[in-house]
Amino acid sequence: MRVLKFGGTSVGTAERIKEVANLIHDNQQKIVVLSAMAGTTNSLVEITTQLYEKNHDGANEIITSLEAKYEKEVDELFSSEDYKTRGHELIKSHFEFIRSFTIDMFTVFEEKAILAQGELISTALFHFYLQEQGKQSALLPALDFMRIDKNNEPDSEHIQTHLKRCIEEQGDHATYITQGYICRNAFGEIDNLQRGGSDYSASLIGAAIGADEIQIWTDIDGMHNNDPRYVENTQSLSELSFDEAAELAYFGAKILHPTSVLPAKLANIPVRLLNTMEPKAAGTLISSKQHKERMAAVAAKDGITAIKIKSGRMLLAYGFLRKVFEIFESYKTPIDMITTSEVGVSVTIDDNSHLDEIVNDLKKYGTVEVDHDQVIVCVVGDLVADNKGYANTIFDAVKDIPIRMISYGGSNYNLSLLISANDKKKALNLLSDKLFN
């Protein structure tokens, strides 16, 4: 069995939904995982923001315009009166549910329930559409098997047992359809896998059923060897290892959610990135195969802040780093990059919400310097220590760009440089010229 995930733009209009239905039509058994139609989750988030602010008129306005958009798509999607009526009834019931929160109390529980509506609607519409076309399919409610534990980590055992049960209950079908993103938490309440989490759902489902392949369908032809927004003539990568893909996904390749590589990697299930606009193109195959002695790609992560702590007390001392890290931990702020010397340590963060408090606390241990508007540029490839000369090639490429931090050796697949945001485009192009052209 294969798992096929389609993102928000792939099911963004009635037209696109029809294309997806065509695309999945073959004789192989599959689970189709869908996101909400593009823009829906953003609108649902806005609705919940209004409701937290007790602005019921504001919420109602967004609800009404979102509902109108769905009414239009339903009319375009279905051709028979029977299915048009079913579609409209479906939309009506979901929006009545969303509206019910404008008169009731509003807490995080209701928020999660509202956020789940997008995927519930897209999958139900898709299911109806296949039925109308005379194609057989079954819905597997993600809320019946997808679950996270008390630490918000997926509960693999629960997912596996209950997904199997759901499939058995539905009997044999060519196509099963389920929702991405949504799940239940340790208390059985409706929850989600965080924004963009449908890729994660697909990977978890693939791992749970031991799928032959997990396909992530988007509107780009796979992962590229550099960022096409800043560099001309980037190329789509035909193959990547799980480790390389994880680094790239984290460092800005928007095509794949970073968390989604791990379940597939652990279960050793290949992930294929494919393009709905060009279904015949090969895309990118992510697997355990590591290309030797190859620089695969360059990526950049924006919005980075660097913090340097200098202290005489670090010299020959132990426990200094722990104290520094504890400060970041106490503000739940993850550290991305780190470099050390005997008299100081530099770290980077991409979440500035507690920057002032963090800096204040760090001052207990030394002098603190902060640099804003930094970018991590990372080169991903076979960078194992045995390979000679790669660092030299990389540094030669960027020899005219000031470098604030260097990180190498953290994994075998990544060399990262911290530079000013102003130099980002230049660095990406220089690296592309040197490494790929």
Q: What does the binding site for Mg ion look like in residue numbers (CB under 5 A)?
A: 7, 196
Measured from each CB, the residue nearest to Mg ion is 7
Establish if 154 lies at the interface with ligand ASP (CB under 6 A): no
Establish if 180 lies at the interface with ligand ASP (CB under 6 A): yes
Residue 381, binding choice from ligand ASP, Mg ion, none, Cβ under 5 to 8 Å by partner class: none
In order of 241, 348, 380, 382, 412, the CA distances from 388 in angstroms are 21, 28, 15, 11, 13
Asked whether the CA dihedral 112, 113, 116, 118 is positive or negative, the reply is negative
Q: How far is the CB of 205 from Mg ion (least distance, A)?
A: 16
Q: Which of residues 310-329 bind ligand ASP (CB under 6 A)?
A: none
Residue where the block lists tokens 């099911």: 11
Residue 24, binding choice from ligand ASP, Mg ion, none, Cβ under 5 to 8 Å by partner class: none
* Rounded Cα gap, residues 172 and 353, in angstroms: 50
When binding is defined by CB under 6 A, the residue of 3, 8, 147, 344 that contacts ligand ASP is 8
* Rounded Cα gap, residues 72 and 155, in angstroms: 38
Establish if 196 lies at the interface with ligand ASP (CB under 6 A): yes
Measured from each CB, the residue nearest to ligand ASP is 198
In order of 67, 110, 145, 276, the CA distances from 180 in angstroms are 21, 19, 12, 17
Helix axes 108-115, 40-52, angle to 10 degrees: 160
Interacting stretch for ligand ASP, rule CB under 6 A, among 192-200, 206-214, 301-309, 396-404? 192-200
Q: How far is the CB of 143 from ligand ASP (least distance, A)?
A: 15
Q: Which secondary-structure segment (H or E) carries 419?
A: strand 414-420
Residue 36, binding choice from ligand ASP, Mg ion, none, Cβ under 5 to 8 Å by partner class: ligand ASP
Letters for 104-143 (x = contact with ligand ASP by CB under 6 A, - = none) are: --------------x-------------------------
Q: How far is the CB of 7 from ligand ASP (least distance, A)?
A: 6
- How many amino acids of this chain bind ligand ASP (CB under 6 A)? 12
* Rounded Cα gap, residues 263 and 202, in angstroms: 9
The token pair that represents 28 in the structure block: 């192989």
* 199, 254 contact by CB (below 8 A): no
Q: How far is the CB of 257 from ligand ASP (least distance, A)?
A: 7
DSSP string, 291-333: -TT-EEEEEEEEEEEEEEEE-GGGTT-SSHHHHHHHHHHHTT-
Buried residues in 55-86 as b, exposed as e (16+ CB within 10 A): ebebbeebbeebbebbeebbeebbeeeebbeb
Identity of the residue, 192 or 305, whose beta carbon is nearer to ligand ASP in the bound complex: 192
* 202, 5 contact by CB (below 8 A): yes
The strand ranges marked E within 181-283 are: 182-184, 190-192, 213-218, 239-241, 271-275
Identity of the residue, 181 or 413, whose beta carbon is nearer to ligand ASP in the bound complex: 181
Interacting stretch for ligand ASP, rule CB under 6 A, among 104-112, 170-178, 196-204, 383-391? 196-204
Letters for 64-103 (x = contact with ligand ASP by CB under 6 A, - = none) are: ----------------------------------------
The token pair that represents 239 in the structure block: 């193959």
* Rounded Cα gap, residues 10 and 19, in angstroms: 8
Identity of the residue, 351 or 371, whose beta carbon is nearer to ligand ASP in the bound complex: 351
Interacting stretch for ligand ASP, rule CB under 6 A, among 92-100, 194-202, 221-229, 335-343? 194-202
When binding is defined by CB under 6 A, the residue of 54, 72, 92, 195 that contacts ligand ASP is 195
> Helix, strand, coil % (nearest 5) of the chain?
45, 25, 35
Q: How far is the CB of 103 from Mg ion (least distance, A)?
A: 31
Identity of the residue, 252 or 366, whose beta carbon is nearer to ligand ASP in the bound complex: 252
Q: How far is the CB of 118 from ligand ASP (least distance, A)?
A: 5
Q: How far is the CB of 139 from Mg ion (least distance, A)?
A: 21
When binding is defined by CB under 6 A, the residue of 9, 123, 178, 198 that contacts ligand ASP is 198
Residue 195, binding choice from ligand ASP, Mg ion, none, Cβ under 5 to 8 Å by partner class: ligand ASP
When binding is defined by CB under 6 A, the residue of 9, 35, 348, 414 that contacts ligand ASP is 35
Identity of the residue, 196 or 258, whose beta carbon is nearer to Mg ion in the bound complex: 196
Rg (C-alpha) for the chain, rounded Å, is 24
The token pair that represents 12 in the structure block: 């963004």
Q: Which secondary-structure segment (H or E) carries 33?
A: strand 30-34
* Rounded Cα gap, residues 77 and 79, in angstroms: 7
One-letter amino acid identity for 277? M
Q: How far is the CB of 76 from ligand ASP (least distance, A)?
A: 21
Q: What is the contact surface with ligand ASP in residues (CB under 6 A)?
A: 7-8, 35-36, 41, 118, 180-181, 195-198
